[in-house]
Amino acid sequence: MKLLEKILVPIDVNIDSKEQIDTAIKIANLGNSEVIILHVLPEEGLDPAIRHVVTGNVSDALNEIQELFKKEGLKVSKQVIENGNAVNHILKIADKEAVNLILMGSGSKEKKEEFKRGSTTEKVMRQSNIPVWVVKSDKTNKLDHILCPVDFSKHSVYALNNAILLAKFFNASLTILGVYEKFSSLSVRFKDEAEKENAKRLKDIETELDTFIKDFDLQDVNYSIKIKDGLAHEQILRTIKEDNYDLLIMGTHGRSGLNRFVMGSVTEKVTRKVPCSFITTRTADILDLKYDNEVKEIEDYFKQANTLVKSGSYQEAIAKYLICLEINSMHIPSMYKLAHVFKILDNKEKAKYYSRMAKNILTRIWDDTIEQKITKHYTA
């Protein structure tokens, strides 16, 4: 199973997509992902003969992009050219192909930092249930420092889950940001009361943040917490600029009320001016949490089993390897280790059984070269 199964990369061949493509390559390399590249031509306004020429040019451009992925050893599983409404086709293909992530460009450099209202990227962000990663075309995209503002809503939960997973994925630092509005009074008479109220608001958000993050797995994550007062969108943008964050992750909706901000409207304001790449999420997780947990569990049992083999506790080791196979029936390392242990125990039948099981799976999944490398590694 792959950590990040499929990435949809809608390409506008008429603008500079270098940073978008570079980021897609970086993510696909780390996630062992399939990539789908897409270009949507307008439905109207082109003579059929001209459309044929334009389609050919687009196809050539997509082929060149596909070659860039191929040079990196990555698989472009589909190259799609559609006609019509770009937003509809992007969302339709993302749903049909069950992609984990839509990776968009922010537009041409001439547009600078702000989106046009109603742009394709903005509409996809608003309508997609799948996380949307928007890559700034005018900035080299590092992935070292991630910022995730939260308002304690369920959409913040999705955003923070993704931020944590990506921080682990890219070995990046993560900052969790809370923003609250100060109470202000022009009257000198109420100065003491205002200070008390603001001290209470600060204490409240500190307590709520501490409670909120307890439900998340932040183990092995280099994270910090920041709390700022003021308007949420202004403080988010100021924080990004002051500390030079590489990636912003936000939910697309939230709740309102005292000391809250409406995540949807704040996201809209922030993403129009944000100087770094960003991800908006509504419901889905970019990475497979179930798989992430499975990997940790299997690794633990597999290490325990290997230790038991070294100490000569073969039956106990067999039990641990079998647990690995219960968690993931295609865990090839456990199959080879079982074959090895049963060979030590002179149980030739079971040794052949698990060796054959591993080879059959390898034959179905990988080519002969990779099979030989894995076989050599796990039978050594």
**pLDDT tens-digit map of 264-306:** 578 878 888 888 888 888 766 665 544 555 666 788 889 999 9
Q: What is the pLDDT of residues 201-211, one digit of tens each?
A: 999 999 999 99
Angle at 370 between CA 369 and CA 376, to 5 degrees: 95
Is the pLDDT at 199 greater than 70? The verdict is yes
**Confidence at residue 336, expressed as pLDDT on a 0 to 100 scale:** 92
**Confidence at residue 254, expressed as pLDDT on a 0 to 100 scale:** 42
Give the chain's domain count. 3
Is the pLDDT at 326 greater than 70? The verdict is yes
Angle at 24 between CA 112 and CA 71, to 5 degrees: 125
Which residue in 336, 322, 154 sits closest to 254, CA to CA? 154
What domain range is 334 assigned to? 289-379
Do residue 158 and residue 108 come from a single domain? no
Q: What is the pLDDT of residues 160-180, one digit of tens each?
A: 988 998 888 888 999 999 999
Which residue in 247, 267, 87, 286 sits closest to 179, CA to CA? 267
Q: CATH number of the domain that 367 lies in?
A: 1.25.40.10
**Confidence at residue 364, expressed as pLDDT on a 0 to 100 scale:** 63
Q: What is the pLDDT of residues 44-89, one digit of tens each?
A: 666 777 878 888 999 999 999 999 999 988 889 999 999 889 999 9
Q: CATH number of the domain that 168 lies in?
A: 3.40.50.620
Return phi, psi of residue 277, to 5°. Answer: -65, 155
Confidence of residue 377 (pLDDT cuts 50, 70, 90): low
Do residue 311 and residue 270 come from a single domain? no
Of 235, 256, 281, which residue is a domain's last? 281
Angle at 377 between CA 375 and CA 378, to 5 degrees: 70
Confidence of residue 193 (pLDDT cuts 50, 70, 90): confident
Of 281, 302, 334, which residue is a domain's last? 281
Of 135, 167, 194, which residue is a domain's last? 135
Angstrom distance (rounded) from CA 375 to CA 370:
8
Decide if 144 contacts 246 (C-beta within 8 A).
yes
**C-alpha dihedral sign at 94, 95, 99, 104:** positive
**Confidence at residue 365, expressed as pLDDT on a 0 to 100 scale:** 59
